[in-house]
Structure 1
């Protein structure tokens, strides 16, 4: 027998190399031929394109859990084995040996987790039966040991496999032992366990004992299988003959049972005939009963229909009848307050009658009747007559009601007496006809448009006059001194006059105007929305006033919304009516704003704040045009305030033309007074309006300051630093809590420091010009860089460069930089240094117009001089180390003594 590929150590090592890194141990590897089975017309599998492959059974242990895999390896183009496919044995469900294959060495394996079960599984062909049995035994044993179950085996006898295992047991053991000597310890243990369980997996010990007992009862060996099979067939035939004999002996009993069944059949036939006769009789009786019930039902139906028809005709006649009292009221009744109850009842009846003659309240069949059509036309005529009469009455009523109030002068504000408008009586008289308007809307919506225009037109005249008379008397009764409008011009003493003027009465007057008329206009808007039947949410619920107080019964209409389907259209109509109601009333508010602006323009800030508060409180749809009015007022006040700011900017720009301006500009300190007063009026709010004014004013101030300073270059820095200092000193307290001014404060502070440093450097250089020019020449020579050096040197490079220049060029031997020249320079510059410093102080003092700045500027001057002098001493120590120069401490003591 040829050596099996399962014993090929070279093959096993190649397989191990192919799966290196997978932590799997190979139990057996064997060469096979792979063929792809196809299903032909005969339903049998056929082989196609055999390919060489290697099957390797692998185990992987993870703790107490063992995983088993069947790997398929293929040969690459270079003859190297590489992995092709991997199957998990826990999914192996079927092993089938191809029976129509002559050699019996071909089998297939089915896995239950394959994605496509319609494709025929591959066929694996072994070299011989031993190789086939060897790989199958290993697979079955691993399934039994690892998973506790066996796949379904088809096409091979289990007994035959057990006999093969007994015959080949020694060779398998030897083979595995040899392999165990070369492989790892874990592999040897697994394979030895496999040898022990080869036989018991297929046939248990008990089954084997039973089989041996059965075979022992016969004196036969395994080689006499054909004789044993023939004897079993003979015994089977004998048992079948005994069964047939027993059946023949029971024939009399069968005959007796058949006779009893035949008698029972005759009885059943007789009973079927009797039941048929009774069924015919019952059917005839049922037909008679149905005929009687049908005639009875028709009679009852006629009776019920006749009664229902009589009832419907009575109801129809009742609908078609017009009561005489309602007809009289609708066509010729009066609209006095005492007759309104009858008018409302007539309206309700007419509305119900018209609704009752329409589908679906009235059956569509009745709608085509001539009597119904004539009665509907009669009711429509009654409706048109009543609507025309009621609309004409209400138009005249609204006009007369307002005219009676306009003719009474005591109703309006008079000289020396402010009178708050009171519309309680007006609303009470209108409330009488509120229900009538509701019914007019239900009868004809189109009639409300002219009524609304008439009401709004009449009431607009009343509101305009009330606002005009109130505003005139309000202005006349408010006594306030006029505040100066030229805030940023004139003498500084004018600031005190501006501050002492108390104009709070202007804000109080504006608040009184809004407090009286804004709630009045809101209430009138809300009353209009209810009274004229607009289906929109009112400003406040009925019974509650604009200030949250309980209303009187005169303001409570007591009307329920009858229809809310057209809310959007009603909202548009309401806006149009509100525009008619409040048209032109803003002019009287504008008059109060203009009056307050002329007296004190800064009062625009507080008035803008008051307007914003009122504007944020009006949110209801009925107050839409009141919000528009307040928005107009806010825009008007902003426009007036911006006008004031523009005039102030123009006042500042006038200083640009005064070329002889010296000292502190007048608008610098006056701006602080203006800012303080603006903050008092703003009360921490209305920041956008005030911040925009700050930004515009301060920007113009700084630009103008620069332009005025440029007119005289000699005093440029002195002029700037004095004005910036005045700005910082006057605005220090305000800038601490106003962010916008704090930003400009920082800007002015930076400009002040720059102007100070420029002026101080000018003074120092004017007194010690030769000293600093000599030092600048040395520095220029020290830091001369060769042309090839393009990048700026670091500090260390600069020091090295200075040493190099010192060694190579000998600065002290250069023309004009010798020791002799250095001594002459020191003598001329520092021999009378105390007098030079005193002259510098005197010059600084003389240049300032604000002497309070002198101490701080002198300290800055001394510090700047000492910084420059320290640099000169360091330079002298490096270039002229043998020369003596006053030390830094001596110079500092000298400055401190002056």
Structure 2
């Protein structure tokens, strides 16, 4: 068995030196190597950390109690021990062997003064059970001798510990360490007698001792002394041993038979081993002979194969270095006419393949620096430069001449009395002839595409702007629509005439402009992306069924059939950098065309500002059909159109609000204000133009207009305090009546309808209360005084107050109720005065009577409570009298 680290005196001296270096004056009693963090950390793939546990004591200089410590030391980068942690043994509460460790070498020391009890204490793992027992026995012994108590022991069999202590006696070593010429302290090790006493007497806890006493108490033996019990146990043990020996003797014949079988099997195995040894020698000799023959054959075969491969490789290299004369002629001086394009494409394909064949992936690295290969590569580069320059110059001139020819022919554009849809089929057909050439130019020199793209964009931009300008001019000239005035609060006759005018042709003209040009611009963007070899995904067809007729996306018109030099379809990757370069080129291709769309919007606004609603909805439908793809400029154009239409409509709303606010300047206005009923007409027209779109735009307009209407109404009503409530209730009632149908279907108008309803009720309540109080002022003032006094004096004392006696009550009743029919008639006339809406009078009079009866009911209850002996008309009599008038 390997020597335990607890007996390593060098380890103990190292611990003593490390502790002394830290400034502590302690004696090392026991030191042993352990591993920290094993157990669960092994499952996580982490390595255990080597540590040294050292038990030390510190003697009090004043003759007090000694102190015991448990020190944890770790190895520094130089394999030198240094103190890591210090635990006081007086805080040790538990010693627990980890249950999930089958070896039993892992245990936990629990201390009651740890800062974070939520963190599990570290696990310590020993090399074997002997080391574990030596450490734990030493800890328990020091706790008993120095602290006079033992910690709780969990997971350790006390009896096994006692047996181990009897069989294993630690050596007693008194080591003397010399340091700086001085004698070291001598630390005694626990002796056998001390361990025996500790284990037999102290390792049994109080609970275990009580259990043992209970167990012994279950046996009734009639024995009064321990010697008799021990003698009886010995006799039983001898009887059991005799029975075991007898059982073994009975099974002796079977054992003899098994041994004979084993001897026979052993002889057979020896014979077989001898035969296998002989066969192994013969097979080894055969393998050596076969290996020698194969070696000679492999050398001859390798030489033959190498010679053949060398000849083939040289033939291939010579073939690569040859330039066909017909390809050389096409690349240096051939024509770019349509009939010659097939030859030019074949020459490009050969040139591309020849350049690639001389590159390292396709050519063995050992050939790269050969003189013939370098000269041929330089010759091919010169051919490539010459061809790219000639082809680029031809294409730039071709694009310019092609567009100039179309611009000079007026039949391509819209003319007076004839709207013409732009048709670029012939243009694309002519360009498609050179699509393969552009693809090969890109593979030969990618930098040459920049000037070609710019030349194409500049030429085609002139054509597109001319087509859009001519189409927009003829579209406006051919559209017949009467103009609606923006001022909608002027005279009633002109407003009604304007509202009945049909301006739907304006929206149809704007829709036709988008229907023709938006798909055309998307098609041009898609064709440009494919034709100029941008590596972007293909554009999808527009949503909402928007098509461009013969130029719609998805037809064969945009399928250029581009092929790479290896005759495979080009796979477009969603390259963000390439997409950004494409959108920059499209900006140059289509820039300026937006001005013609803006001119159509301005023209439509002048004819009928409300048509901004329908144009906004049309723009939204087209915008929802566009994707954030290669046609990014088209989406930006639609965004700008939507913003301009919203701005124009906001301008109309601002003018309408200014017209509403101008009504405030009138000094005195009675009846329903002019903008209340006319707003209902305006809202009906706006709802007709929404057509399921632009709901948010119209709702914001409603909010601004109605807020301005209500604010202006409040200011007008406050100009004359005598009729403020009459003006409010008449106008709020008119607002509700005019918008009743629309409020049932438009949530925004429904909110303002409820707001007007609440303001109407409040104005009615204030107006009716003022009329009732003015007609029956003395009656209700008397009731108010009584109510105020009820908070300060008892009800019985109120009739004795000045002005509130029974006589005063009778005077008030006589004055107020003697001519009730005249008073009610006067109240009705006051309610009718200054009221211009006669249809509101019946409902207001009913509310007035109801309010008066409620007030009179509270007055009657007050009189019955304060003046019980006084007789006044009842509420029912008053209700009947009011009903008769």
TM-score (normalised: structure 2): 0.70
Further displaced range: 83-92 or 524-533 = 83-92
Uncovered stretches (5+) of structure 2, i.e. residues with no partner: 1-129, 170-194, 203-207, 250-273, 564-568
Q: Secondary structure at the match of 1:472?
A: helix
CA 1:367–1:562: 2 relative to 1, 3 Å: farther
Further displaced range: 586-595 or 873-882 = 873-882
Distance in structure 1 (CA, Å) of the matches to 2:209 and 2:821: 123
Aligned to 1:519: 519
Alignment of 1:632-711 (within 5 A): 632-711=640-719
CA 1:209–1:594: 2 relative to 1, 3 Å: closer
Distance in structure 2 (CA, Å) of the matches to 1:833 and 1:618: 77
Q: Show CA shifts across 1:186-228 (max 9, x none).
A: xxxxxxxx99x979985667947999xx9xxxxxxxxxxxxxx
Aligned to 2:805: 818
CA 1:95–1:846: 2 relative to 1, 3 Å: same
Q: Does 1:96 align with 2:97?
A: no
Distance in structure 1 (CA, Å) of the matches to 2:351 and 2:647: 57
Distance in structure 2 (CA, Å) of the matches to 1:680 and 1:349: 66
Distance in structure 2 (CA, Å) of the matches to 1:40 and 1:869: 103
Q: Secondary structure at the match of 2:623?
A: helix
Q: Deviation of residue 44 (structure 1)?
A: 12
Q: Does 1:861 align with 2:854?
A: no
Distance in structure 1 (CA, Å) of the matches to 2:626 and 2:698: 24
Larger Rg: 1
Aligned to 2:509: 509
Q: Deviation of residue 540 (structure 1)?
A: 3.0
Alignment counterpart, residue 621 of structure 2, candidates 595, 613, 618: 613
CA 1:681–1:203: 2 relative to 1, 3 Å: farther
Q: Contact (CA 8 Å) 1:866, 1:892: kept in 2 or not? A: yes
Alignment counterpart, residue 223 of structure 2, candidates 171, 189, 196: 171
Q: Contact (CA 8 Å) 1:725, 1:752: kept in 2 or not? A: yes
Q: Show CA shifts across 1:116-168 (max 9, x none).
A: xxx99951249xxxxx99998987999xxxxxxxxxxxxxxxxxxxxxx9xx9
CA 1:199–1:659: 2 relative to 1, 3 Å: farther
Distance in structure 2 (CA, Å) of the matches to 1:705 and 1:175: 119
CA 1:171–1:286: 2 relative to 1, 3 Å: closer
Aligned to 1:891: 878
Q: Does 1:596 align with 2:579?
A: no
Q: Contact (CA 8 Å) 1:424, 1:555: kept in 2 or not? A: no
Distance in structure 2 (CA, Å) of the matches to 1:138 and 1:608: 97
Q: Deviation of residue 865 (structure 1)?
A: 0.7
Further displaced range: 770-779 or 433-442 = 770-779
Distance in structure 2 (CA, Å) of the matches to 1:588 and 1:876: 83
Q: Secondary structure at the match of 1:883?
A: coil
Aligned to 1:530: 530
Distance in structure 1 (CA, Å) of the matches to 2:343 and 2:539: 32
Distance in structure 1 (CA, Å) of the matches to 2:411 and 2:760: 66
Distance in structure 2 (CA, Å) of the matches to 1:175 and 1:847: 129
CA 1:367–1:886: 2 relative to 1, 3 Å: same
Q: Secondary structure at the match of 2:223?
A: helix
Distance in structure 2 (CA, Å) of the matches to 1:350 and 1:206: 103
Distance in structure 2 (CA, Å) of the matches to 1:362 and 1:368: 11
Alignment of 1:102-501 (within 5 A): 123-125=199-201, 169-171=221-223, 202=237, 207=242, 304-487=305-488, 489-501=489-501
CA 1:201–1:686: 2 relative to 1, 3 Å: farther
Q: Deviation of residue 761 (structure 1)?
A: 1.1
Q: Deviation of residue 566 (structure 1)?
A: 8.8
Aligned to 2:636: 628
CA 1:649–1:137: 2 relative to 1, 3 Å: closer
Q: Deviation of residue 314 (structure 1)?
A: 2.4
CA 1:120–1:699: 2 relative to 1, 3 Å: farther
Alignment of 1:795-834 (within 5 A): 805-807=794-796, 810-834=797-821
Q: Contact (CA 8 Å) 2:487, 2:656: kept in 1 or not? A: yes
Distance in structure 1 (CA, Å) of the matches to 2:740 and 2:209: 106
Q: Deviation of residue 741 (structure 1)?
A: 1.6
Distance in structure 2 (CA, Å) of the matches to 1:580 and 1:454: 10
Q: Secondary structure at the match of 2:533?
A: coil
Q: Contact (CA 8 Å) 1:663, 1:723: kept in 2 or not? A: yes
Alignment of 1:751-770 (within 5 A): 751-770=759-778
Q: Secondary structure at the match of 1:713?
A: coil
Q: Deviation of residue 454 (structure 1)?
A: 1.0
Q: Contact (CA 8 Å) 1:736, 1:742: kept in 2 or not? A: yes
Q: Contact (CA 8 Å) 1:590, 1:633: kept in 2 or not? A: yes
Q: Contact (CA 8 Å) 2:612, 2:646: kept in 1 or not? A: yes
Q: Quote the RMSD (CA, aligned, Å).
A: 4.3
Q: Deviation of residue 623 (structure 1)?
A: 1.4
CA 1:89–1:356: 2 relative to 1, 3 Å: closer
Alignment counterpart, residue 781 of structure 1, candidates 776, 786, 789: 789
Q: Contact (CA 8 Å) 2:476, 2:600: kept in 1 or not? A: yes
Q: Contact (CA 8 Å) 1:811, 1:817: kept in 2 or not? A: yes
Q: Deviation of residue 451 (structure 1)?
A: 0.7
Q: Show CA shifts across 1:604-654 (max 9, x none).
A: 111111111111111151211110110011001111111111111111111
Q: Does 1:879 align with 2:882?
A: no
Alignment of 1:735-746 (within 5 A): 735-746=743-754
Q: Contact (CA 8 Å) 1:526, 1:540: kept in 2 or not? A: no
Distance in structure 1 (CA, Å) of the matches to 2:483 and 2:786: 69
Distance in structure 2 (CA, Å) of the matches to 1:747 and 1:491: 29
CA 1:550–1:706: 2 relative to 1, 3 Å: closer
CA 1:675–1:200: 2 relative to 1, 3 Å: farther
Q: Deviation of residue 39 (structure 1)?
A: 11
Q: Show CA shifts across 1:828-886 (max 9, x none).
A: 11111111111111121122011111011111111111111111111222222222211
CA 1:203–1:837: 2 relative to 1, 3 Å: farther
CA 1:372–1:719: 2 relative to 1, 3 Å: same
Further displaced range: 375-384 or 560-569 = 560-569
Q: Contact (CA 8 Å) 2:332, 2:386: kept in 1 or not? A: yes
Aligned to 2:262: none
Q: Secondary structure at the match of 1:595?
A: helix
Distance in structure 2 (CA, Å) of the matches to 1:463 and 1:209: 114
Distance in structure 2 (CA, Å) of the matches to 1:174 and 1:768: 118
CA 1:99–1:466: 2 relative to 1, 3 Å: closer
Q: Contact (CA 8 Å) 1:480, 1:502: kept in 2 or not? A: yes
Q: Deviation of residue 490 (structure 1)?
A: 2.1
CA 1:406–1:134: 2 relative to 1, 3 Å: closer
Q: Contact (CA 8 Å) 2:141, 2:198: kept in 1 or not? A: no
Q: Deviation of residue 656 (structure 1)?
A: 1.3
Q: Contact (CA 8 Å) 2:772, 2:827: kept in 1 or not? A: yes
Q: Deviation of residue 99 (structure 1)?
A: 5.8
Q: Contact (CA 8 Å) 1:538, 1:620: kept in 2 or not? A: no
CA 1:439–1:781: 2 relative to 1, 3 Å: same
Distance in structure 1 (CA, Å) of the matches to 2:722 and 2:636: 58
Q: Show CA shifts across 1:680-736 (max 9, x none).
A: 212343222111111111111111111111111111111111111111111111112
Distance in structure 1 (CA, Å) of the matches to 2:454 and 2:139: 101
CA 1:367–1:541: 2 relative to 1, 3 Å: farther
Aligned to 2:39: none
Q: Deviation of residue 469 (structure 1)?
A: 1.1
CA 1:745–1:100: 2 relative to 1, 3 Å: closer
Q: Deviation of residue 757 (structure 1)?
A: 1.1
Q: Contact (CA 8 Å) 2:725, 2:766: kept in 1 or not? A: yes
